[in-house]
Amino acid sequence: MKARALLSQVCRRLRPKPTATFRRSSSSSSASARHATIRRARAPWHHDPWRVAVATALGAAGSYAAVHVRYADTEPLTGRTHLAVLSHAQARQRDEEDFAKYKEYNAELILSPGHGDSLRARHIALLLVRAAHHGLAIRQRHAAVPRQRITDRGLQWMDGLRWEVVVVRCHSANAMIFPGAGKIVVSSGVLLHRRGDCCHPSPRVLESRTVLEIGHVIGRHSSGVLSWLAPLVKKVPVLLYLMMFLRRRSELEADEIGLMVLAAAGVHPRVALRVQQAFGSMAPPRTLLDSLRSTHPSSRARLELLARPDVMGRALELYNLVVVLG
């Protein structure tokens, strides 16, 4: 009997409770009237789209804030803020290994270090690197308001780079960079400016192409989000378009940084406009699909960036400071 009573108590506790209950309510007109009061069960929060939207927004904002605090880095010459997910040591080690493989694979095309073109390219690159340090020092000393002075660590981390410039035999006017290690590759076509059937040395073209690669180093583009996306492209092919977009944006940022470095070197910033116009006149037209899959922005986009009043204004301000103060 005791077992049967215990079993009945357990069954009563496990029996689901009714969602609707009825209670009596007395009134002056009719004391026996009954009103049904429906108790609705409260739905879980994830069934409410507004709560889901708020929770998603708060989670995304918190994640962005955490990543920004952890990986945010400010470029000192332009003041742009970007994410640097790799440390200086990690980027340097990776790019030095890649550069060693590149030299081994293209050993037959690389000019000797004592070649005249190699010496000239190395000399100009080192001058531009020193100019970047000099221009930043001038901006820090002559800021209009002390609070607006650049408090970033500057470019001291570049002192640990073992800069190296190699020239490869190639008729195209191209250059490339291994940003984390400070390794610059310049094609021999950059050293000559074609005019008709003759070739004339053009130091301005060499400066403009080299300073763009130095802009990648200063911008720490080897440590950016692209280092995360590159291994995922094979698994998620659609990320290729996002990767190409980020590459084009890094090229534009390198153009802006390079413009500031040219100004710090005492070269008038509008020289970069003329050089870009010359290269743009030789570039073939692009379709929309070509633009989406391209790693470099169009010449029109680059010219629009360099000609923007705020970008050119900062470069001219630094140029005037360098010319007046030395």
State the number of CA atoms in the 13 A half-sphere of 105 facing the CB: 6
User: What are the CB-based long-range contacts (under 8 Å, 24+) for 298-302?
Assistant: 301/248, 301/252, 302/251, 302/252, 302/255, 302/276
Q: State how far the Cα of 312 lies from the Cα of 222, in Å rounded to an integer.
A: 26
Q: Catalytic pick from 213, 251, 253, 256?
A: 213
**104 has catalytic annotation:** no
85 touches 223 (CB < 8 A): yes
Task: Report DSSP state, residue 34.
Answer: E
What the block records as the tokens of 247 is 């590459």
Q: State how far the Cα of 278 lies from the Cα of 172, in Å rounded to an integer.
A: 14
What is the residue type of 285?
P
259 touches 275 (CB < 8 A): no
User: What are the CB-based long-range contacts (under 8 Å, 24+) for 196-203?
Assistant: 203/124
267 touches 261 (CB < 8 A): no
Q: State how far the Cα of 40 lies from the Cα of 134, in Å rounded to an integer.
A: 72
Residue 36 in 3-state DSSP?
strand
Residue 133 in 3-state DSSP?
helix
199 touches 192 (CB < 8 A): yes
Q: State how far the Cα of 240 lies from the Cα of 128, in Å rounded to an integer.
A: 33
Active site residues: 213
